[in-house]
Amino acid sequence: MSLAIEQNPSSGALTRRKFLHLGVLGVTGLATVGCVAGISTRNDIEMTERTIKIPNLPESFKGMTIAFTSEIHSGPDMNADGLREVVAAINSVKADVIMLPGDFVSMHRNEIPAIAETFHELSAPMGVFATTGNHEFYVDADMTSAVLESCGVKMLRNENVALERNGEKLYILGVDDVDADSVANFVEGKTASHIDELFRGVPDNAATILLNHKPYRFDEYAMTNVGLMLSGHTHGGQIVFARIAGETISLSRIASKYVAGLYQIEENGKQTQMYVSRGIGTVALPMRFNCPPEITRITLA
């Protein structure tokens, strides 16, 4: 397993028309060159590092580290041996806490036992926290969550938990994938019981980290009391034709402007950030192109 350290890349903007045009060129170029250079598998995990400032973060939590990844996808291309390697790689970050926003399985219940066999080896001094992704609901979200809980992973399903240091608190929130979109109602003052539960007991001025599988609703969550959102789902594009001015040229970019890396929204003096992990596993094709799998070490500031 090769490990590389990547520091904070720059970000940029790209018009939709230019993006689509470059995407077509990228597909053509990929077909011409062939899928050789840039191909990676789960064995080519890149260890990236980020320092992220969270609003209202108590002094006791400054310098706290998070091992963060997503899209592990137990399945035909990720058996128990592969999961054990991933668990070891996550543990090697030696972070204070581990955070995993979903997609532990792929399509079948028979993918769950490999998780039970390996995830009990995950370890961090302040705990392991996770929430559900869409693939948990394709399989069996309750069963998968129960197995993860039995391995010592705290599943946050429309709820929150407070980490405490020296009498100060940092709130970790997790929203079920099937309920995450109801934040649109929440910010409009409409009924959104799942989001009400998500924020129950969290003070307005609290420091918060939200685990939310899909990045699509970042704009709405930035209007709530969320300081940092951690997401996955996109696989970073998985098949990436090019990167132009910080933009990822991939099919995922057509579905969402949030594909991979760090994003920031600042509005009315409030800053919210989101990090979208490229994750570990794959879907549809058992390969990545110009998009190596990723585990990120986040240091809070």
* Tens-digit pLDDT profile for residues 250-301: 888 888 899 999 999 998 788 999 999 999 999 888 999 999 999 999 999 9
CA atoms within 13 A on the CB side of 265: 19
Q: Which of residues 249 and 57 earns the better pLDDT score? A: 57
Tell me the helices (H) and strands (E) count for the chain, helix number first. 9, 17
CA torsion through residues 77, 231, 240, 289, sign: negative
pLDDT for 26: 42
Is 211 exposed, middle or buried, given 0-12, 13-18 or 19+ CB atoms closer than 10 A? Answer: buried
Task: Spell out the residues 6+ positions from residue 233 whose beta carbon is closer than 8 angstroms to its own.
Answer: 70, 71, 102, 103, 133, 134, 213, 214, 215, 276
Tokens of 284: 């549809």
pLDDT for 243: 85
CA nearest 167: which of 275, 254, 59, 7? 59
Q: Which of residues 281 and 13 earns the better pLDDT score? A: 281
pLDDT for 247: 83
* Tens-digit pLDDT profile for residues 116-171: 999 999 999 999 999 999 999 999 999 999 999 999 999 999 999 999 999 999 99
Q: CA geometry: angle at 244 spanning 258 and 16, to 5°?
A: 60
CATH of 5-300, one of 3.40.720, 3.60.21, 3.40.91, 3.40.50: 3.60.21
pLDDT for 17: 38
pLDDT for 123: 97
* Tens-digit pLDDT profile for residues 34-81: 445 688 766 789 999 999 999 999 999 999 999 999 999 999 999 999
pLDDT for 231: 98
Tokens of 131: 């929430």
Strand 65-68, strand 294-300: pairing: antiparallel
pLDDT for 189: 97
Q: Which pTM value belongs to this model?
A: 0.87
What share of the chain in percent tops pLDDT 70?
Answer: 87
Q: Which helix (H) or strand (E) holds 68?
A: strand 65-68
